[in-house]
Amino acid sequence: MNKEKSQKGHNVPLSKEEIEKKPHTVESLLEKFGSKEKKAEEYKDKWLRTLAEYENLKKRFEKEKIEFLKFSNEQILLELLPIIDHFDRAEDAARQHKHGEVFSKGVEMILKELHRLLERNGVEKVKTVGEKFNPHIHEGIAVVDTCDHPDEAIAEEISPGYLIHGKLLRAAKVKIYQNKKNENDGGKDKNG
């Protein structure tokens, strides 16, 4: 018993006889070690996958944050657009009357500053007059009959449209050309 206590207490190596009494001890230890090593590898793989998922989530969150910030001013800018429309109309009216030159210059300066503010915030005007009608960015409110212009070309801009970082903020209200030749040809084909 003293021998057993001393072996347990001082980590004395097992004798050959003791090893022979427990022939599967080394093999079982190696087997246990192998299974523990396999478990450690599994945990490591799970940890690496979780870390990669976390990094991807972090990148996606940053991207969404940037997108949110980019479009966070959308509502205030949308409310600002009618004011700019009124300035545009006032400037046009003042230009038509020569005695309003001073007023016109003042309005023009304010209007330029407002347009610069919009540009700094990623807002740009939708192209209209002379462009082909695009229902994704234009709102047709009237048709102008013509023989001289292509079908669905924009004849006149009633109210400008705006994009914010390439996304539609407000559609442009426009008048669209309708070619009388096509209308007449279509009518003849239907009757003939």
Q: Which CATH architecture has domain 125-192?
A: Roll (2.30)
pTM above 0.85, yes or no: no
Give the domain ranges of the chain.
25-57, 72-121, 125-192
pLDDT digits (tens, 9 = 90+) for 7-16: 455 666 766 6
168 φψ region: left (φ > 0), alpha (ψ -120 to 50), beta (else): beta
Measured in whole angstroms, the distance separating CA 84 from the mean position of its chain's CA atoms is: 26
Per-residue confidence (pLDDT) for residue 78, from 0 to 100:
82
The distance in angstroms from the start CA to the end CA of the chain is 120
Q: Mind listing the pLDDT tens digit for each residue in 130-184?
A: 899 999 999 999 998 888 888 888 999 999 999 988 899 899 999 999 887 654 5
pLDDT one-digit tens code per residue, 94-132: 777 766 677 777 778 888 888 888 888 888 999 999 899
